[in-house]
A and B are shown apart, each in its own frame.
Chain A
Amino acid sequence: MSESNPEKSGGLKEIFGNLDWRTYTMVFALILIWIIFATTTNGVFLEARNLSNLMRQATITGVLAVGMLMVILPGHIDLSIGSVAGLTGGLAAISQAWLGYGFIPSLLIGILAGVLIGAIHGVLVAYANIPAFIVTLGGLLAWRGAIKGISQGNTVPVNLPEFKNIGQCYLRKEVGWGLAIAAILAIVFFAYRRFQAQKRYGVEQNTATLITRALVPSALAIAFIYVLNQYAGVPVPVVIWIVVAIIGIFLTQNTTFGRYLYAIGGNPEAARLSGINIKRYVVAVFCIMGALAALGGIIYTARVGSAAPDAGRLLELDAIAACVIGGTSLMGGRGTVFGAILGAIFMASLDNGMSLKNFEDFTQDIVKGVILVAAVGLDMIGRKRS
């Protein structure tokens, strides 16, 4: 089927990945602060070791941001994920340190606990009609209390080497290059498919766009692996993050599940009257959030090497900030996983750069607060114009 009026490629962007002007602004801002930090630290910022640390630091916020986006899309929020991360990370640590379980069972216990907690949140929000803000605020308090009680205030060490590896290990350089090649193949494949689809929809296409669409991401993938390999290889947490991101992007953009989330957030009444069982999807996204909070908690525990009772404090705020800076609307119906990831990288870059410049902790907090408000403010102004 071809249209009588060829569609401008601007419309195509909306199908293939929601890359609107907001995301381009985000990328631009990211590059900008990288340049700023690179020049003001005499290039130390761009050293392989630093960039590698930056990505590692971004991982946990990044994983949580993917889950948070999926909760925000249908119009809710989750304030408890810091406490949930602390609790589930603690449970996983306790399973292998005190209960003597193996690696996989400990992991599973942590993640299943996260899913269960998410289910509780989701059921309360969807069926008892308690606002998500309240349910998860209660969760923030209660789950923190739970881990303090269970651990009796003790810091639980991580003994199993495989467990530690999740947080501290790096991929072998060859494996890293293997990933790069796999990425390039996928990029080229999808760029080609987009090319074919554009032809079908009657859009004027040219090979130059195809090549750019294939080359730029491929170059980025190569640069990414190259820089990380320069130091110690791709960190395992980052790999986990990439997998989560890919699944997240797929879920939100290419499945009926994702489509329904956007509809529920965009207009819940219309979604309901179109036959969407909203309650079921709300429970589902909270379960996903719980699982990802657990994953984040486990990675954090693995990296630090032990589970402290107050681990994960304030993580929810970082995740929300990442989503919002990445273009998500807290009212629901608008935002992308990709944007949330860029937001996480942006915030980690801020943290990292300011630490390199030896900014005091309090200064860093003030700067982050100001930038968060500024980012959303600019977004609002931009929305009014368009």
Chain B
Amino acid sequence: MLLQMRDITKSFPGVRALDGVTFDLAAGEIHALVGENGAGKSTLMKVLSGVYPASEHGGEIYIDGKQQRFNGIRDSEAAGVAIIFQELSLVPEMTVGENIFLGREPRTFGVIQWNELYRRATELLEQLHLPINPRTAVGQLGIGQQQLVEIAKALSQKARILVLDEPTAALTETEVETLVKILEDLRARGVGMIYISHKLDEVFRLSNRITVLRDGKTIDTTATAETNEAQVIAKMVGREVNQIYPPDTRTPVDVVFEVDNLTVQDPHTGKKLVDNVSFQVKRGEVLGVAGLMGAGRSDLLMAIFGAHAGKVSGQILVEGKAVAIASPNEAIAHGIGFVTEDRKRYGLVLEQEILKNMTLAGLKHLSGRFVTNLDKETELGGKAMKELRVKANSLFTVVGTLSGGNQQKVVLAKWLLNNPKVLFLDEPTRGIDIGAKQEIYTQIDKLAREGLAIVMVSSELPEVLGLSDRVLILREGKVTGEFTRKEATPENVMARATGSF
């Protein structure tokens, strides 16, 4: 057995994050590690990588039968462990090559050999079929490409144990295929891989074994071939989960929001990020927007919301009247709500409490025009917290301490408190465990039933197909297809998204 982790315990003040977890990995195996957010997966990997040194956790780690004591990341790296975390650890201002070899640049007598560095980087990138110039600054790459650079970096360390934490979160379908080939190649060469993902279809496609964690304990380890999704979900959640998506019994009414011939041009290059897009949304309807990363979906939403730096042309109509939206303020005034991507960066002030975050977009009418009215805020916030079932000690808990799902609910509450006419959601369940996902799906359904018009951008096809009344597909800024729920299938949506039809 390549790696054995026995009886791992790790506690934080007040919380036992890992409680006697056992996990092992064979050479030439892809072993999936699944569990809800907070189950302990990231903590376990931090123990393995030495981020939590041997003195701060219980239990033992064995590699090739020899016990290891890691006091830091260098120790685990020296032992052949490489981890690719969910949060990218690249320096945007440095080049791809510099990032890959950061801290391990080829040197002679302390002088970095740049030619050698870029030669090796080019080799690595070719292996990964990444058509990137290694001298490009990482910050200029799309997020999917950045993630692949991160993987290149881990591969350059010649790891024998590779840990991937949500590796496909930001990848396009093509990039995912590239990654799959790389992982299968590594498996054939005897590398052991720990694959952490919420995407069970990937897990079932790639892994040899699946271990489920829940509440810091190992629930079960089974061979992938001997189990199925429903069983795994049941173990993750601890209960039977039948229907994740609400049933399709909504009847949309009149058109409340319309976009005509919207075009958005990149401020620097003039390239059309959104090209002549038109669509309508009705009250009580969920319009899903599918497409690959880079198709222009987020640009579309940002432009509608008045938050895009590029040149925007076209018409936006709210309740039949043409409106001009030059800033988020104006968008909000016209009844538009926008739950953005990346809640930590764009949606929340992490060091402030739940209440302050919830009331941020509508402070003037939720609290007071000049003087704030804490009583009023607390009442409204309390209602929102209850309705959305935000799990936290109180309205005054700091948002940064909440789990991803609860953070997303706070962002959702922020926009709902404004009583919008149309609500835009961009990747609403990214990085959220399955229990919280289900709750958010129920919320979206409930809101639509209550008459809200919802536009949902999502890269998770099952989600788009499961929730939407209609599906719009974007590719390279243009609308390439529109299907009703009945008409839409994974195949025809994907075909329109990739242009292969």
Which residues of A are interface residues toward B (Cβ below 8 A)?
A: 1, 3, 5, 7, 11-12, 14-15, 197, 200-201, 254-260, 262-263, 266-267, 269-277, 333-334
Contact = CB atoms under 8 A, between A and B. Distances in A.
Nearest to B397: A11
A200 B350 contact: no
A269 B345 contact: yes
Given A1-B382, A272-B328, A333 B370 contact: no
B364 A256 contact: yes
Given A254-B371, A256-B370, A274-B361, A266 B378 contact: no
A15 B374 contact: yes
A201 B353 CA distance: 16
Given A255-B370, A255-B371, A266 B351 contact: yes
B351 A200 contact: no
A7 B396 contact: yes
B392 to A, nearest CB: 10
A1 B396 contact: no
Contacts of B356: 259, 262-263
A12 B327 CA distance: 35
25 contacts: A1-B378, A3-B382, A7-B396, A11-B393, A14-B353, A15-B396, A197-B374, A197-B375, A201-B378, A254-B372, A256-B363, A256-B368, A256-B372, A259-B356, A262-B352, A262-B356, A267-B348, A270-B348, A270-B349, A272-B328, A273-B347, A275-B328, A275-B361, A333-B351, A334-B351
B113 interface: no
Nearest to B362: A275
B239 interface: no
B328 A267 contact: no
The dominant DSSP class at the A interface is helix
A273 B328 contact: yes
Contacts of A334: 351
Nearest to A11: B396
Contact of B379 (A1, A15, A263, A275): A1
Interface of B: 305, 307, 327-329, 331-332, 338, 340, 345-353, 356, 360-361, 363-364, 367-372, 374-375, 378-379, 382-383, 393-397, 414
A259 B366 CA distance: 13
A256 B367 contact: yes
A272 B372 contact: no
* A259, A270, A277 pick with most chain B CB within 10 angstroms: A270
A11 B353 CA distance: 10
A1 B380 CA distance: 9
B352 to A, nearest CB: 6
Contact of B349 (A11, A201, A256, A267): A267
Which are the 5 A-B pairs with shortest beta-carbon distances? A266-B349, A11-B396, A274-B361, A275-B332, A275-B329
B350 A266 contact: yes
Contacts of A258: 372
* A255, A266, A273, A274 pick with most chain B CB within 10 angstroms: A274
A7 B396 CA distance: 9
A263 B394 contact: no
Contact of B307 (A197, A201, A259, A272): A272
Contacts of B353: 14
A334 B361 CA distance: 20
A271 B327 CA distance: 12
B329 A273 contact: no
Contacts of A271: 349, 360
Contacts of B347: 270, 273
A332 B64 CA distance: 49
Contact of A274 (B328, B351, B367, B370): B328
A334 B352 CA distance: 10
A365 B358 CA distance: 46
B360 A263 contact: yes
Contacts of A259: 356, 360, 363, 367, 372
Contact of B370 (A197, A257, A267, A272): A257
Contacts of A275: 327-329, 331-332, 361
Contacts of A267: 345, 348-350
Contacts of B364: 256
A75 B99 CA distance: 29
Given A201-B378, A272-B307, A277-B327, A5 B346 contact: no
Nearest to B305: A273
A258 B360 CA distance: 12
Nearest to A257: B370
Nearest to A202: B394
Contacts of A333: 349, 351
B350 to A, nearest CB: 7
Contact of A255 (B349, B372, B383): B372
Given A3-B382, A257-B370, A275-B328, 6 more contacts: A254-B372, A262-B352, A267-B348, A273-B340, A274-B361, A274-B414
A157 B137 CA distance: 60
A263 B382 contact: no
Contact of A277 (B329, B348, B361, B375): B329
Contacts of B331: 275
Contacts of B372: 254-256, 258-259
Contacts of A269: 345-346
Contacts of B327: 275, 277
A27 B334 CA distance: 48
B229 to A, nearest CB: 35
A245 B204 CA distance: 63
Given A3-B382, A275-B332, A256 B352 contact: no
B361 to A, nearest CB: 4
B323 to A, nearest CB: 15
Nearest to A200: B375
Given A256-B364, A275-B328, A263 B352 contact: yes
Contacts of B338: 273
Given A270-B346, A273-B340, A3 B351 contact: no
